[in-house]
A and B are shown apart, each in its own frame.
Chain A
Amino acid sequence: MSTAMNFGNKAFKPRAPDKGSFPLDHFGECKNFKDKYMKCLRENSYENSLCREQSKQYLECRMDRQLMTKEPLQKLGFKDLLDENSQNSTETGS
């Protein structure tokens, strides 16, 4: 962080996001999923690892409504959740 006195050091260089910018959700199409996620966070004292399912659902909602480029969820770091899901489904299936 460049304070006023910090001229000698390097300034912070913001980097562009990897996948670009989210289009704005003008119509609030994914508001429900967002509310679910926020509720989960509040209940779990803001621990992210316990609310990953909800964040996955939010991103899926965005992708379904053209508010985000469609990508396989593994690439977004949800591989563990997907593996769990497939495991659960195979267990229930068999």
Chain B
Amino acid sequence: MLWRDLSVILRQPLSWAKNSVIRTAVACQLCSKGIQNLTATKPLLHCSPGQLLSQRTSSQPLWTQVRGMKSRRNPHTESQQEEWKKRNKTILTYITAAGVGMIGISYAAVPLYRLYCQASGLGGTAVVGHDAEKVESMTPVKDRILKITFNADVHAGLQWNFRPQQSEVYVAPGETALAFYKAKNPTDKPVIGISTYNVVPFEAGQYFNKIQCFCFEEQRLNPNEEVDMPVFFYIDPEFDDDPRMARVDTITLSYTFFEAKEGQKLPLPGYS
């Protein structure tokens, strides 16, 4: 089977290969016939190769003999060769289709994986069911009290005095709570700041939900102005069910203010 395939591949219409193969075949044939003549008729041991070649079996010149070999195909195997050719073509088509299909799958995998992550909530991606009705219907878990500590930071370039107004608050999961920060602009120019926040420990961050706060939007403070900045938040009651959170009883909320440059558009998470 393999031998037949090899012979088929050898006979493919790649002209250079065919010619060279046929030429060697012909040379082999003539050589073998020459040796036959030698052994059969005349013991010419000291004959030259030219004399050997001159003893050709047919009267035709060598190149026509070779060219004749090209068209003189074996009629019995022609249909079989056609079949092989067709089969090779279909195999090639299948392989090409598989290759294109794999490339397509690798492109499609990106959005599909994202959808899967959202549906299963793997890897900490925000599950889409983070809605407001939950706030209405949740009941506080009174037997688990958490201490929320507050931290305030300011970027070096921003000259505000920014600090929390309470150092900690004791809150139960499922209970909405209010906390205040204070910011003062001691300079003579209006300054625009923008803030972001961070929650420690990291895994508790997904249970920390802010209903309303002052982050991610530009806040403008006039010269020598002091404002109270509230944060209205709650800890998801499912916090109590999470075994990883069993030993967590302190959560730290840390806000950092940066100066917002005019016309600078920061990528805001969750906002368009």
Inter-subunit contact B130/A10 (CB<8 Å): no
Asked whether any CB of chain A lies closer than 8 Å to the CB of B225, the reply is: yes
Inter-subunit contact B198/A1 (CB<8 Å): yes
Residue of B205, B232, B268, B271 contacting most chain A CB atoms (<10 Å): B232
Number of A-B contacts (CB under 8 A): 137
Inter-subunit contact B225/A26 (CB<8 Å): yes
Chain B 155-184 interface 0/1 with A at a Cβ cutoff of 8 Å (1 = within)? 000000000011111111001111010000
Chain A 5-17 interface 0/1 with B at a Cβ cutoff of 8 Å (1 = within)? 0000110111111
Asked whether any CB of chain A lies closer than 8 Å to the CB of B213, the reply is: yes
Number of chain B residues whose Cβ lies closer than 8 Å to a Cβ of chain A: 56
Inter-subunit contact B132/A75 (CB<8 Å): yes
Number of chain A residues whose Cβ lies closer than 8 Å to a Cβ of chain B: 41
Report the bound CA distance from A38 to B179 in whole Å. Answer: 9
CB distance from B251 to the nearest CB of A (A): 11
CB distance from B123 to the nearest CB of A (A): 7
Residues in chain B within 8 A of chain A (CB atoms): 123-124, 126, 130, 132, 135-136, 138, 140, 142, 145, 165-172, 175-178, 180, 196-202, 205, 209-217, 219-222, 225, 227-230, 232, 234, 268-271
Asked whether any CB of chain B lies closer than 8 Å to the CB of A21, the reply is: yes
Q: Tell me whether A12 and B205 are in contact in the complex, defined as CB-CB below 8 angstroms, given that A21-B216, A49-B175, A79-B136 are known contacts.
A: yes
CB neighbours (8 Å) of B220 from chain A are 24
Asked whether any CB of chain B lies closer than 8 Å to the CB of A91, the reply is: no
CB distance from B132 to the nearest CB of A (A): 6
Inter-subunit contact B269/A15 (CB<8 Å): yes
CB neighbours (8 Å) of A52 from chain B are 175-176
CB neighbours (8 Å) of B167 from chain A are 46
Inter-subunit contact A17/B212 (CB<8 Å): yes
CB neighbours (8 Å) of B215 from chain A are 14, 17, 21
Residue of B145, B168, B170, B225 contacting most chain A CB atoms (<10 Å): B170
CB distance from A81 to the nearest CB of B (A): 10
Given contacts A1-B202, A30-B228, A55-B176, 14 further A-B contacts (CB under 8 A): A2-B202, A14-B197, A14-B198, A15-B209, A15-B270, A17-B213, A22-B214, A34-B228, A38-B165, A38-B180, A48-B170, A48-B172, A49-B172, A77-B176
Report the bound CA distance from A19 to B216 in whole Å. Answer: 12
CB neighbours (8 Å) of A15 from chain B are 126, 209-210, 269-270
Report the bound CA distance from A25 to B219 in whole Å. Answer: 11
Report the bound CA distance from A37 to B268 in whole Å. Answer: 31
Report the bound CA distance from A63 to B43 in whole Å. Answer: 123
Report the bound CA distance from A63 to B167 in whole Å. Answer: 26
